[in-house]
Amino acid sequence: MSPSKSSIVLVRFFITVLFLSPLLVSNAQCYKEFKYALGTNGDAEAYDIVDAGNSNFFVIGTTVEDATGKNILVTKMSAGGAILWSRTYGGAGTEVVRKASRTTDNGLLIAGSTGSFSNAKGDIMCMKINEDGTLLWLRRFGSNAINGDLGMDIIETSGGGYALAGATNSSGLNAHMAVIKLNQAANIVWSKSFDCGFKANGIGVTDNGTSLMVTADIQQSGADADGIITELNKGNGQFIKAVKLHPLTGGLSSPYISKDIANGGFWVSGHLTDRTQPSKMQQIVLRLDDELNITTTYKLVLPDYANNNFTGFQYMNNGGFIACSGMQSLSNGFIFSVREDASVVFAKKLVGGSDRKLTALRLIGNKIISVGSDRRGANNEMFIIGFDSSGVMESTCKTDTANLSVQTHSFTESPFNWTAISDVVFKNIGADFTKKATSLNAIVLCSVKCDSAPAVHANFEIPDTICVNTPVPIINKTTGATICFWNFGISGVNDSTNIYTSSDTLPLPFTYRAPGVYNIDLIADKGLSTETILTKTIIVVASPAGKILFDTSFCKGDSLLIKTDFTSDSYLWSNGAITNFIVIKEPGNYWIETDHYGCVVRDSIYVTENALPVVYLGNDTTVCSQNLLLNAGNPGATYVWQDGTTAQTFNVASSGSYKVQVKDINSCINRDSIKISMYAKMEWEHNAATTVCTGNTTQLFVRGANLKTYSWSPAITLSDSTISNPVARPFDTTLYTIHVTDNNGCRGTDSVRVNVKPAPFVITMDSTTICAGSQIALATMSTAGVSYAWSPNDYLSNISGGGAMATPEKSIKYFVTVTATNGCTDSDSISIYVNPSPAVAAGTLDTLVCPGAKVSLAAISPTAISYKWMPSLNLDDASSASPVATPAVTTDYYVKAFNQYGCTATDTVHVDVKRKAPAAIEPAFVTVCPGTAVTLKATGGDVYQWFPIDLSLEKGDTTFTVAPLITTTYKVLATDANCGITDTAYATVNISSPASINISKSNDVDCILSTATLKAEGGVNYRWSPENTLSDATTATPVAFPMQTTTYHVKVTNSGGCISTDSVTVFVFKASVENGYKLPTAFTPNNDGNNDCFGLRTWGPLMSLQFNIYNREGTLIFHTNNASDCWDGTYKGVRQPTGSYVYQIKAKVSCGVINHSGSVVLIR
């Protein structure tokens, strides 16, 4: 706790809750037979029963008491019918219970699913509680399956740990059997998933020493279920073997397995199913040997079909078994006892309830206890029955006898292989449920007391006074009672206590949350003839109000009084003091504790020791004359100096004594003082700021009296940094600092700024040598933005910025100077050396030659020492002054002459080579009809020869007219008259084929078909005649409407322009008008798309029409002038009955007038 500024803090009270161990009732009321209905505030159903030892048992089920869904409900009872306690476990979603089992430490294991966490469809859930109902651990295992996961069975295994069987995606078609092995701390050792290609649900598990036996039912779509027994290595989950149990009729589902400890082998109990009649399940029990061979089958046959989804089973040490079941839709439950030889010991039918079902049973001591559910009013309640294992019952609780027969049933056994076995990674999460007490409404439906039951005496002990929020310890000393009901004297308003009533023999510890006087009622055997009531009063006092503690910190060397004003009979401090105050001199954590009717009042305070502020002004000293600043430090503190000023610092301007007092934020005080003497003030001066260009120098100086030493910085650009007047050559603007000392050792510091203007730079190219008459570009590299000056400017041209073109006639040296805008300059120079060039002339004139001819070239130069001709191709010696050339094409020959300085001169000779002109014929390709004249024209020569040879042509004619009947290729030979060069060209005259005509007609014309479609194929243009009875004489498919038989001619032009003709005749037939127009004698207007309407649509074009239909009474029920209309069998929207109807038709067609009447039958 942090102290407040006033050093006062409030006391906080911490309450220690004490839970008393329950005291078991050793001589409670005893029933040798009983039937109970145990209800909650909502639905309650029991699914399993587990022997709890000491003639007690657990009932495991679910209850729905609020909108959060189902919670797990566990009730512990005695075999005599006493309810010892009841608890619910659950979260925000729905919890499901399937099976439970007892552990060697008398705890209870429960398997099922939980929807209270990430998957609302449910994760596999298992949990363990101790014999008092305390939740020891909870685990959920999720695979994120769409249909959820479900735990079906859990056991404690030999050697420690637990085994859990269930299914992932449990309600889906691709459910997989899942097996999880847990260690003693309930953490996963291994987990396996088993897939067979279709639905596989893990059901039961039992321990077989070094292995586990796991049962499952598998069901392929459209088939009955089969049972599977799989043996796995218990240590690592490795598959050992699997056996399929297949009934010859029906299927096997929900097969739970038990190991027979007394007689060896295994038991399997489940349902015989028929997928075609799912409501007709029967209970089946199988006996197997240690090798999983079936030795005996027991089919429990009842006339009513015991087909509840849950069945109870327990084998007996004598080789027989007991079992229970219920009906899916009727109000009966059944309990059976069967001997090893299949004879029936008893078969009981429980009647009188509403939708009563039994789900599990156990032999507890000498009693058979069976549990299930019973509909009572709007809700289900847990149903519990207990009676002697012999089956004998007195009249009070007597049941009907069931007509049970035990039969054998044929099974086949075969090895089974899982399609895939894989490790499965679950989310192994240790979640938690909210545990709460549950008030059970216990209704005794019937009971028979034990022969020597003691009298009922209600008694319990509680304290007279207790503090609020302190658990009330109750010691129940009741004897002879079966049921204990508690009322804690409150109505539940304002959240007065955590529970209001309880049906537990020993209720959970409860607390009163408001002061007052309360009555606690104990009703022993409530509602029974032996009911006894005992009431005791308890006073609940308020928790004491908080008091205060004082100072929580002190300064070093001081002490602190800590005191409480809280009134109590006793005090206990952490240092052992027992008074209401203590004095401390050391820092630390101190606490005080008192007791007030069970309320433990306790608070603590942390006391710190605050260090004194550190104040140091320094040693007494003599200093040079200047302002000296003293600093007392400790920011945030308060200060008082010798002159009364209150700042943290003090400015010393003269000799004297100075002192300060410092008080920090913790009010701790410390002091210090100092004596100061001062020398006379130094007098000295230096030069002012100056400016230079880069690379230039300036001299600095310092003058003054009694100066002894000098130190300039930075020293790197100074001639000497330890003299009074060094020479500075700074690269950039520099602030030079000067430190001086006088003969008293007093120091002075000042500075001088030397501003440096950037100087430009210029760099020219290297000196070089050129030949006379050559031009050279002078280039520089310099700072941008400068001006240039060249000298001398002889032989210079194109001067632009830092560049110029030089054509010197003799050797010369040029200088360039650049000036920046700030006035700074730089310069550089270049020397040009000039050598003389030779003179050269080509001795051969430009000329024209035929291909392959030789030409002599020549070059003349008085100073040349070597030559080079280009191109060198087709030269006999390219380095000779007079080479011989044989050019293949027109060529310009260049000769370059070299003198002793390497200077050159060049001249040119042009040699033109006569080239062959390419021969050509125009047109090179043409398509014509046979016999069409075509004129061919040749180019590319002086003389032409045509092939095939035509004697009518003169040699050299450029044109040739031809008219071939077939496709022909023509050739021409073109010759150059000067050099005798020839070339050949070709042309093809392509002859187009005549048009190939296909002509047809669609039909001939009569009174019904008045038109016919003509069709011609084989061309691109068409012309028909005669045109007056055609829709279009220029189309390939005109429509003809002749009034008499007519022959039509067509002229067809193909893509080559060739024309062909053909013809087709359309015959016109005009026989008897009446014979061609027929009508059906019946129609069926049933909207099936066939013969639904009676009309004249098949008669073709009509020039006029009168179409009437009459019923038997002569009423006109249909009329139209449109041949496309038809009668649909209705009149004014009303369907007409089946029968005969009369029609009259008067129509005009191209062949004449039709008058037709008759009858038609309407059929429905």
DSSP string, 430-481: ----EEEE---EEEEEEEEE-TTPPPPB--EE--SEEETTSPBP-EE--BS-
Lowest mean pLDDT among 381-385, 496-500, 1013-1017: 496-500
Report whether 679 contacts 623 (CB < 8 A).
Answer: yes
Query: Tokens 């520099």 sit at which residue?
Result: 734
d(CA 217, CA 252): 7
Contacting residues for 250 by C-beta, under 8 A, at least 6 apart: 224, 272, 273, 274
The domain tally of the chain equals 9
CB atoms within 10 A of CB 159: 11
**Residue 421 or residue 152, greater confidence:** 152
pLDDT of the residue at 314: 96
Under the banding of pLDDT at 50, 70 and 90, the label for residue 363 is very high
d(CA 672, CA 616): 6
Share of the chain above pLDDT 70, in %: 91
d(CA 422, CA 178): 10
693, 731, 764, 817, 824 from 784: Cα distances, Å: 17, 19, 15, 14, 13
In a domain, 113, yes or no: no
Q: Are residues 1146 and 1083 in the same domain?
A: yes
DSSP code for 618: -
In a domain, 579, yes or no: yes
Q: Are residues 457 and 534 in the same domain?
A: yes
> Among 195, 302, 284, which residue's Cα sits nearest to residue 247?
284
Q: Are residues 830 and 857 in the same domain?
A: no
d(CA 1082, CA 1138): 10
Distance of CA 1127 to the CA centre of its chain: 65
Under the banding of pLDDT at 50, 70 and 90, the label for residue 12 is very low
Write out the DSSP string of 879-895: TSSS-EE--SS-EEEEE
pLDDT of the residue at 16: 23
* Averaged pLDDT, 1096-1118: 87
In a domain, 102, yes or no: no
Write out the DSSP string of 143-167: ---TT--EEEEEEEPTTS-EEEEEE
* Averaged pLDDT, 1143-1156: 85
**pLDDT tens digits, residue range 564-580?**
877 777 788 888 888 88
E strand segments, 632-668: 638-641, 649-652, 656-663
Under the banding of pLDDT at 50, 70 and 90, the label for residue 9 is very low
264, 858, 941 from 974: Cα distances, Å: 120, 37, 5
621, 693, 757, 780, 783 from 825: Cα distances, Å: 57, 9, 11, 15, 10
476, 485, 519, 605 from 531: Cα distances, Å: 16, 10, 19, 55
> Among 417, 411, 48, which residue's Cα sits nearest to residue 252?
411
* Averaged pLDDT, 944-970: 82
Report whether 381 contacts 374 (CB < 8 A).
Answer: yes
Q: In 1013-1089, which residue ranges form alpha helices assigned H by DSSP?
A: none
Q: Is 561 exposed, middle or buried (0-12, 13-18, 19+ CB in 10 A)?
A: exposed
Report whether 608 contacts 553 (CB < 8 A).
Answer: yes
> Among 644, 614, 615, which residue's Cα sits nearest to residue 630?
615
In a domain, 331, yes or no: no
Question: Across the strands, what pairs with 982?
Answer: 975
Lowest mean pLDDT among 15-29, 497-511, 646-660, 694-708: 15-29
Structure tokens at 63: 């209850």
> Among 40, 45, 75, 73, which residue's Cα sits nearest to residue 58?
75
Distance of CA 119 to the CA centre of its chain: 17
Q: Are residues 697 and 777 in the same domain?
A: no
CB atoms within 10 A of CB 419: 11
d(CA 101, CA 112): 12
> Among 509, 505, 506, which residue's Cα sits nearest to residue 525?
505
Roughly how many angstroms between the first and final C-alpha of the chain, as a whole number?
Answer: 100
DSSP code for 875: B
**pLDDT tens digits, residue range 595-618?**
777 777 778 888 888 889 999 988
DSSP code for 612: P
**pLDDT tens digits, residue range 110-141?**
999 998 877 778 889 999 999 988 899 999 98
Residue 440 phi/psi, 5° resolution?
Answer: -95, 135
Domain boundary residue, one of 913, 937, 961: 913
Structure tokens at 553: 């910190």
Under the banding of pLDDT at 50, 70 and 90, the label for residue 290 is very high
Q: Which amino acid is at 935?
A: T
Q: Are residues 688 and 673 in the same domain?
A: no
Q: Could you tell me what percentage of the chain is helix, strand and coil, using 3-state DSSP and rounding each to the nearest 5?
A: 0, 50, 45
Q: Is pLDDT at 436 greater than 90 in this prediction?
A: no
Q: Are residues 503 and 550 in the same domain?
A: no
In a domain, 707, yes or no: yes
Domain boundary residue, one of 867, 891, 913: 913
**pLDDT tens digits, residue range 758-807?**
888 888 888 899 998 888 888 888 888 888 888 898 888 888 778 888 88
* Averaged pLDDT, 935-941: 88
Domain boundary residue, one of 819, 835, 851: 835
- Helix (DSSP H) and strand (DSSP E) numbers for the chain: 0, 102
In a domain, 1008, yes or no: yes
Whether the pTM exceeds 0.75: the reply is: no
pLDDT of the residue at 329: 61
- Dihedral of the CA atoms 919, 923, 928, 932 (nearest 10)? -80
Q: Are residues 777 and 806 in the same domain?
A: yes
DSSP code for 917: P
pLDDT of the residue at 491: 57
928-954: burial string, b at 16+ Cβ within 10 Å, e else: beeebebebebebbeebbbeeeeeeee
Q: Are residues 480 and 510 in the same domain?
A: yes
Q: Is pLDDT at 1023 greater than 70 in this prediction?
A: yes
Q: Is pLDDT at 4 greater than 70 in this prediction?
A: no
Contacting residues for 951 by C-beta, under 8 A, at least 6 apart: none
* Averaged pLDDT, 871-880: 89
Backbone angle region of 722, left / alpha / beta, with phi > 0 → left and psi within -120 to 50 → alpha: alpha
Report whether 866 contacts 878 (CB < 8 A).
Answer: no
Contacting residues for 441 by C-beta, under 8 A, at least 6 apart: 38, 39, 40, 381, 503
d(CA 169, CA 807): 99
Q: Is pLDDT at 485 greater than 50 in this prediction?
A: yes
- Dihedral of the CA atoms 262, 265, 267, 273 (nearest 10)? -170
Report whether 636 contacts 648 (CB < 8 A).
Answer: no
d(CA 307, CA 210): 36
In a domain, 938, yes or no: yes
The 1059-1066 sheet, strands edge to edge: 1021-1025, 1046-1053, 1059-1066
Structure tokens at 887: 């050019």
* Averaged pLDDT, 220-243: 92
Q: Are residues 480 and 504 in the same domain?
A: yes
d(CA 437, CA 83): 13
72, 75, 221, 382, 473 from 133: Cα distances, Å: 12, 9, 43, 19, 18
Question: Across the strands, what pairs with 624?
Answer: none
pLDDT of the residue at 22: 30
Q: Which domain holds residue 1150?
A: 1078-1162
Q: Are residues 767 and 788 in the same domain?
A: yes
> Among 1014, 1009, 1008, 1007, which residue's Cα sits nearest to residue 1030?
1014
**Length reported for the chain:** 1164
d(CA 377, CA 81): 24
Q: Is 52 exposed, middle or buried (0-12, 13-18, 19+ CB in 10 A)?
A: buried
Q: Is pLDDT at 40 greater than 50 in this prediction?
A: yes
* Averaged pLDDT, 1098-1110: 85
In a domain, 727, yes or no: yes
Structure tokens at 498: 């955590």
CATH label of the domain that carries residue 746: 2.60.40.10
Contacting residues for 522 by C-beta, under 8 A, at least 6 apart: 458, 460, 476, 478, 484, 485, 486, 533, 534, 535
Q: Are residues 460 and 535 in the same domain?
A: yes
Under the banding of pLDDT at 50, 70 and 90, the label for residue 346 is very high
Question: Across the strands, what pairs with 815?
Answer: 791, 829
Structure tokens at 1047: 């022959």
Report whether 199 contacts 218 (CB < 8 A).
Answer: yes
Q: If you average pLDDT over every residue of the chain, what do you get?
A: 85
Structure tokens at 376: 């009572």
DSSP code for 849: E
CATH label of the domain that carries residue 1101: 2.60.40
Structure tokens at 555: 């300064």
Q: Are residues 1032 and 1061 in the same domain?
A: yes
Write out the DSSP string of 107-137: -EEEEEEE-SSS-TT-EEEEEEE-TT--EEE
d(CA 733, CA 779): 32
